[in-house]
A and B are shown apart, each in its own frame.
Chain A
Amino acid sequence: MSPALKILENEVQIAALLFMGAVYIVRLIWLFRFKYRQERTFAEGSEKAGIVYSLLNVAMPWGMESTRKKPGFYIQFVIFHAGVAAAIAATFIIPYFPQIFEVKVMVYLFQILIGAACLVGLMRLNRRLTNPSIRFISTPDDYLSLILMIFFFAAGVLAVPNNYRRAEWPLILFFGLTAFFLVYVPFSKICHYLYYPFNRIFLGKTLGHRGVLPPRKKTSSDGPAS
């Protein structure tokens, strides 16, 4: 392995990761400086139950009409994010646990996951370009974020065999993109995952308090309405 690749896989990644972490901390401080109104009412439901339901909502495609009616879209979501997780895992496995990718099955598994996510990324890009409503609200950041992800996945598929003796460029491409990502993500829409739990907690807390979430058990003709 060339010294340049070694630095790219280690020091550069760590520096970029630290940068991202620092920006995220500042972002969270920024978010938490906004006021939060105290609830003054008697509860009808449980805030805790509402928060738990709201957070687990992501794993309950039947829970929302929008995902229930579009199972294909939900499956795409799962594949895309499984691919993200696999690609991120690969950025740690390659430099720190390379023995894992010495097992062929693991390489194939990661390639399938990341490759499928790459395909979903292309489908999502197509949707963003062809659906007038989505195109209308799409920003350059939306497009770049998606295109970057597609390239990142493609580079990931090539990089996971970790065969630097044969060619280093797939690894350089993958880790170069990763470093860029780590620096760019906090300023792009990709950082949605940072805010996601807070949005779900705020909504779950409010609607849990009122007994809206989790959805109430439907009454039968004779059952109690409580």
Chain B
Amino acid sequence: MKEKGRGMSRKKRDVPEAVLSPLETNSQAKAREEKLDSVTRGRLKLYEPGAQNVQKFLTLLAQRMTRPLAASLVGCVHCGMCSDTCHYALARPHDPTMTPVYKAEQIRRIFKRKMDWTGRIAPWWVHAGSPESDEDLNRLKNIVFGTCSACRRCTLNCPMGVDTAALVRFTRGLLTELGIVPEGIFNVNRDQWETGNQMAVTEEDYLETLKWVEQDLQAELGTSDLKIPLEKENCDFMYAINPREIKFDPRSLFHAAKIFYLAGETWTLPRFGWDQTNFGLFSGDDSLGAYLARNVYEAAARLQARRIVISECGHGYRSTRWEGYNWADYEQTLPSESVIITLLRYIREGRIRVDTAKNPEPVTFHDSCNIARSGGLTEEPRWVLRRVCSDFREMFPNRTENFCCTGGGGLLSMAEYRPLRMEVAKIKAEQLRTTGAKFVCTICHNCVDGLNDVIKHYKLDMKVVQILELVEKALIL
């Protein structure tokens, strides 16, 4: 990225050495060869080396700009207060490319060059600059995807109210539109566009897993009454889950179904539209976000469910409960809630009985960024945990000040950025270690994997659990 009066030496210095990934990837080449439906319909964007990508980027920037984003772009005073709030900057205090303000500056300088008066007239004066090549865009990709988990910790700590995480997501969205996107993110985008779920679970696999969970539950509870309902109409709620619960860890679904059964709940899973996860949030692709969220909302409407319950997932909760309606321009008509609210209601109404003595080990709670900072659920999980664990202890900082698990923002799917992610995870590792807890509970599948990586890498004597698991363990049958 060149600017008047600022030469290549700065350009080289600006590149965070820890994050580099190429422009073209095998996955994109394969998608092109296979002429995927999502590609031919123009939903999944591929990188075109010959296209005027820089010009397209600048046009998209102007077209997609919103008032809050523009205010965040012009409102920064470069005070640097955000630096001490970001786990990247804290873990690498001598690397100025890790500060949130630096990351935001990468889109801010382009915005200034294209849309701000001073930046257009005297770019050198405000460090305005425009990308000049696809390599510049690739460099931008490595910053916004590779050095930020979009956890929004800096946003809540900015005296000016600048939403840096929103700027990062916005920039990701522009790059995704050009196919300039990390391979891992591309792959999940592709699967969500192609199959409607992020792990490309086929309907056959889905139904098979539901049957298998149902049989296991029937065996455990000794009853054939227990069913995993599918496409049942007029239920109290439709349950939307994370594909991980089908493909890798059906225990979550097992625990949930058991609790729903014991609570005498009428619920259902849909045949399609069951995936509440949404890589539109991570890739910044609002159209993908809208498509996936709409699948869930329309499934609930089709089944005439009275509400949507979202299983344990941070970004899924944020996307389905909050962002999805706005992306899809879909007026919310049904209440939607995290399963944590459902559990709280069951305990409060006495529909299930729990005993803290069944979870005697020290348990701490990790607030998922998307659930706490962007979703407002901070007290409900604690209320439940205090009723199912005998030794619940807080980690510090907590609630909206908690640090990211380091796997947020889609970083778990981007292997090329893993070394840096693990390096900056020392902040999280120390936070976990200090609690002295044997279990760290979270209500996010993404955080489960992120925290497991941290625990393994930093050799912590700790296990990750989810709240459904603890509630299930605490049940008095």
Q: Could you give, for residues 175-218 of chain A, a 1 whenever the CB lies within 8 Å of some chain B CB and a 0 otherwise?
A: 00000000000011100100110111011101100111001111
25 A-B interface contacts by CB (under 8 A):
A34-B66, A34-B67, A36-B67, A37-B66, A39-B326, A40-B330, A40-B331, A41-B332, A57-B159, A57-B161, A65-B397, A67-B81, A73-B81, A77-B159, A133-B99, A136-B102, A137-B102, A192-B77, A195-B71, A195-B160, A204-B161, A210-B375, A215-B399, A224-B383, A226-B379
A44-B376, A65-B397, A199-B160 given; A188·B118 CB < 8 A: yes
Question: Closest approach, in angstroms, between the C-beta of A72 and any C-beta of chain B?
Answer: 13
Contact with B75, one of A137, A187, A196 (Cβ below 8 angstroms)? A196
Q: Which residue of A lies closest to B117 (CB)?
A: A187
For residues 5 through 61 of chain A, which have their beta carbon under 8 Å from a beta carbon of chain B? 31-32, 34-42, 44-45, 54, 57-58
Chain B interface (Cβ < 8 Å from any Cβ of A): 65-72, 74-78, 80-85, 89, 94, 96-97, 99, 101-102, 105, 117-118, 124-127, 155-163, 321-322, 325-326, 329-332, 335, 344, 372-376, 378-380, 382-384, 386, 397, 399-401
Residues of B within 8 A of A39 (CB): 326
Residues of B within 8 A of A136 (CB): 96-97, 99, 102
A45-B376, A187-B117 given; A219·B383 CB < 8 A: yes
Cα separation A219 to B398 with both chains bound (whole Å): 13
Question: Closest approach, in angstroms, between the C-beta of B339 and any C-beta of chain A?
Answer: 14
Q: Which residue of B lies closest to A26 (CB)?
A: B117
**Which bucket holds chain A's interface residue count?**
35 or more
Residues of B within 8 A of A73 (CB): 81
A40-B329, A188-B118 given; A142·B78 CB < 8 A: yes
Are B71 and A66 in contact, CB atoms less than 8 angstroms apart? no
Contact with A212, one of B157, B321, B373 (Cβ below 8 angstroms)? B373
Question: Closest approach, in angstroms, between the C-beta of A152 and any C-beta of chain B?
Answer: 17
Tell me whether A225 is interfacial, beta carbon within 8 Å. Answer: yes
Contact with B344, one of A31, A36, A225 (Cβ below 8 angstroms)? A225
Q: Could you give, for residues 77-110 of chain A, a 1 whenever the CB lies within 8 Å of some chain B CB and a 0 otherwise?
A: 1000000000000000000000000000000000
Are B161 and A196 in contact, CB atoms less than 8 angstroms apart? yes
Residues of A within 8 A of B378 (CB): 216
A42-B335, A196-B160, A212-B374 given; A133·B71 CB < 8 A: no
Residues of A within 8 A of B75 (CB): 192, 195-196, 198-199
Contact with A64, one of B65, B69, B80, B159 (Cβ below 8 angstroms)? B159
Residues of B within 8 A of A204 (CB): 161
Are B161 and A54 in contact, CB atoms less than 8 angstroms apart? yes
Cα separation A39 to B328 with both chains bound (whole Å): 11
Are A189 and B78 in contact, CB atoms less than 8 angstroms apart? yes
Cα separation A67 to B105 with both chains bound (whole Å): 22
Cα separation A32 to B66 with both chains bound (whole Å): 9
Q: Which residue of A lies closest to B80 (CB)?
A: A134
Are B322 and A210 in contact, CB atoms less than 8 angstroms apart? yes
Cα separation A22 to B66 with both chains bound (whole Å): 23
Q: Which residue of B lies closest to A127 (CB)?
A: B80
Are A40 and B161 in contact, CB atoms less than 8 angstroms apart? no
